[in-house]
Chain A
Amino acid sequence: MRWLGHIFVFVVALLVGLPFLWMAYAAFIPPDLIFSGNIFGKFGLSLANFAVLAKDGFWEGFWGRLVFSFLVTGFTTLLQLSTGFLAAYSIREGAKLLPFFLVMLAIPVELLLVPLYGVLQGLHLLDTVWALILPFAASPYIVYLLYQGMRGVPEELLEAARLDGAGHRVLLTQILFPLLRSQLIAAGVLAFAAHWNLVLYPRIVTGEANLKTVQTWITDLQRQNPADWGPLSAAALAATLPLVILYLVYERRIVETFEEGLKG
């Protein structure tokens, strides 16, 4: 029976890993091999597909969009962590707000495209970079994850610091921040991935070429040239690799924090 389990796990793992392996390989296939239709007949590696990505000029081409998405998503993640950290602290300090955040957690953000569009229009934020940032500057899930982490900090520790005259600022920056480092990193990676992976939302609220996210850029390219998959694969790999590396570096903390959140 045992070996059946091993085989099952490895077959599934192989199937799950297959698109990644393919993505890594396809990005380097020489263009002439793709057009001849003989992909596996001859083995070849080339950087030509990446060179094509740079041809549209920097800022409105692929690399510019990658940088833009990193800045926007990174900034949003920092905002989310800050507002979440402060909110978690306030619950820890006795604010009776946990039920509020849990109710917020149940609202399906992805379905709110229409009313969110209306709100952004009312605030004159459509077609500005703030439309990509402000609606995601606070997340109930991040508040919840960080609160779970803060619950584990012994009250005596905080009380002792307070007796020594520590105010909120000292408690937050000198005590809780270092203690919650690993939750903050994990929550940060999850928040980053969630924002990075918005597909339809950015398309709706920002139409201009200089506000396109890398997701939109790739999906547009896929729609225009579905058969030209050399550059497509290169773009896919370049946009995915940073996230994969980020995840692999912090994988243990992310999975642990995530499991901690499940126990809630």
Chain B
Amino acid sequence: MQRSVQPSKTRAWFGPRSSGQWFALPAVLLLGVFLLYPFLDVLRFSTWDWSGLSAPKPIGLDNYRQILQDPDFWKSLSTTLIFALMSLPPFILLSVLLALALEEQPYERQIKALLFLPGLVTLGGAAVAWYTLFSPEYGALAAIVAVPRWDQNVFWALVLVVLFTLWRNIGYGVLVVSARLKAIPKALQEAAAVDGANPAQVFRYITLPLLRPAITFLIVIGTVLSIQSYTAVFLLTRGGPFGGTEVLGYYLYKTGFEIGRLGYAAALTVVILITTLLFALAQARLLREQR
């Protein structure tokens, strides 16, 4: 009996059915303290000269001024953009081709499951497997074929990081394209075929335009993620050789937690966030105009 009385009491206080709203409180509070607040607080930190141990010293916009004159920052920005340029086109192309090749094949589900797996498995363990497989000095592949010296050559080091990133994310890309592909009515493609279009034409004029939203989504989210990613660099190359794979996120980690300039790293965070936002907006606009 008690149970049925209680809700009606609260209903009188908060209006019909509104008492259920309070159930969101834990999630809202936790996200407020550990996500929204830090996200806004980073602006305040970015005006400090602060090592985390000493008392912070407010220095206004000095950190930002220094960033603009910091050659390491500009170098890591260009490394990041090169990394994005190297990883995005193969990512999009592979996602689309794989989704198309998998469509309605008997092995579709199993292969999708396999492609999705690298994104979930233990990162540190995966990095060990990659490292022992591809290490040019004592790697397993080196026993069979000559492995390019990615420990000495910046280009090959970037290739390795790109491959690792593709390996981890390709399943996600395929799922995105594939979900869109399944939403295209088969009747459209069949009608075109009946009208005499060959498979290539059906793809060019029917399927591809209808896949556009999925591709746009992947380009934008892929850009955002490649500007912000650094874990693969940390695990495989630690920014080397000669700082050649030091992407923005890794530079942020290094200045903040290895060198101990947290205020400067906070300013870097803000700069990276703004860069990401600008890129995403520009791309969204560009891709919309092309349509």
Question: Across the interface, do B269 and A111 meet the contact criterion of CB distance under 8 Å?
Answer: yes
Question: Across the interface, do B28 and A110 meet the contact criterion of CB distance under 8 Å?
Answer: no
Give the Cβ gap from A136 to chain B, nearest Cβ, in Å: 8
Give the Cβ gap from A124 to chain B, nearest Cβ, in Å: 14
Give the Cβ gap from B177 to chain A, nearest Cβ, in Å: 10
Residues of chain B with a CB closer than 8 A to A252's CB: 109
Query: Secondary structure at chain B's binding surface: helix, strand, loop or mixed?
Result: helix
**Known: A87-B28, A168-B7, A262-B179. Contact between A233 and B23, CB under 8 A?**
no
**Selected contact of A83 from candidates B30, B118, B120, B230, CB within 8 Å:** B30
**Selected contact of A199 from candidates B3, B113, B170, B234, CB within 8 Å:** B234
**Selected contact of A119 from candidates B21, B41, B114, B266, CB within 8 Å:** B41
| Docked CA distance A113–B234 (Å) | 15
- Interface size (A, Cβ < 8 Å)? 99
B77-85, B135-143, B153-161: which lies at the interface: B135-143
User: Other than the known A90-B20, A235-B128, what 6 A-B pairs have Cβ atoms closer than 8 Å?
Assistant: A19-B133, A111-B272, A199-B235, A215-B124, A236-B124, A262-B179
Closest to B229 in A: A110
Task: Say yes or no for B89: interface residue by CB 8 A criterion.
Answer: no
Residues of chain A with a CB closer than 8 A to B20's CB: 89-90, 92-95, 168
**Selected contact of A134 from candidates B34, B116, B228, CB within 8 Å:** B34
**Selected contact of B128 from candidates A37, A143, A218, A243, CB within 8 Å:** A218
Residues of chain B with a CB closer than 8 A to A37's CB: 138, 143
Residues of chain A with a CB closer than 8 A to B34's CB: 116, 119, 134-138
Task: Say yes or no for A51: interface residue by CB 8 A criterion.
Answer: no
Give the Cβ gap from B91 to chain A, nearest Cβ, in Å: 13
**Known: A116-B34, A118-B38. Contact between A17 and B21, CB under 8 A?**
no
Task: Say yes or no for A232: interface residue by CB 8 A criterion.
Answer: yes
**Known: A19-B133, A114-B262, A138-B30. Contact between A165 and B3, CB under 8 A?**
yes
Question: Across the interface, do A111 and B143 meet the contact criterion of CB distance under 8 Å?
Answer: no
- Map CB proximity to A onto B260-271 as digits: 1 under 8 Å, 0 otherwise: 001001100100
Question: Across the interface, do A199 and B52 meet the contact criterion of CB distance under 8 Å?
Answer: no
10 contacts between A and B (CB under 8 A): A87-B27, A107-B39, A113-B253, A114-B269, A117-B262, A118-B41, A222-B128, A239-B125, A244-B117, A255-B113
Question: Across the interface, do B124 and A199 meet the contact criterion of CB distance under 8 Å?
Answer: yes
**Selected contact of B39 from candidates A22, A112, A251, CB within 8 Å:** A112
Query: Secondary structure at chain A's binding surface: helix, strand, loop or mixed?
Result: helix
Question: Across the interface, do B3 and A170 meet the contact criterion of CB distance under 8 Å?
Answer: yes
Task: Say yes or no for B37: interface residue by CB 8 A criterion.
Answer: yes
Give the Cβ gap from B219 to chain A, nearest Cβ, in Å: 16
On B, residues with C-beta under 8 Å from A are 3-4, 6-7, 17-24, 26-28, 30-31, 33-39, 41-42, 45, 52, 94, 97-98, 100-102, 105, 107, 109, 111-133, 135, 137-138, 140, 143-144, 167, 170, 175-176, 178-179, 199, 224, 228-231, 234-235, 249, 252-253, 256-257, 262, 265-266, 269, 272-273, 276
Question: Across the interface, do A87 and B38 meet the contact criterion of CB distance under 8 Å?
Answer: no
Question: Across the interface, do B122 and A115 meet the contact criterion of CB distance under 8 Å?
Answer: no
Closest to B253 in A: A200
Closest to B36 in A: A104
On A, residues with C-beta under 8 Å from B are 1, 5-6, 8-9, 12-13, 16-20, 22-23, 26, 37-40, 82-84, 86-87, 89-95, 97, 100-101, 104, 107-119, 121, 134-138, 140, 143, 165-170, 189-190, 193, 196-197, 199-200, 203-204, 214-216, 218-219, 222, 226-227, 229, 232-233, 235-237, 239-240, 243-244, 247-248, 251-252, 254-255, 258-259, 262-263
Question: Across the interface, do A237 and B125 meet the contact criterion of CB distance under 8 Å?
Answer: yes
Residues of chain A with a CB closer than 8 A to B18's CB: 94
Closest to A9 in B: B101
Question: Across the interface, do B113 and A22 meet the contact criterion of CB distance under 8 Å?
Answer: no
Residues of chain B with a CB closer than 8 A to A118's CB: 38, 41, 45, 262
**Selected contact of A26 from candidates B7, B23, B39, B140, CB within 8 Å:** B140
**Known: A83-B26, A94-B18, A104-B36. Contact between A200 and B41, CB under 8 A?**
no
Give the Cβ gap from A257 to chain B, nearest Cβ, in Å: 11
**Selected contact of B122 from candidates A113, A121, A138, A214, CB within 8 Å:** A214
Closest to A244 in B: B121
Residues of chain B with a CB closer than 8 A to A215's CB: 122-124
Residues of chain B with a CB closer than 8 A to A18's CB: 133
Question: Across the interface, do B167 and A19 meet the contact criterion of CB distance under 8 Å?
Answer: yes
Residues of chain A with a CB closer than 8 A to B176's CB: 262
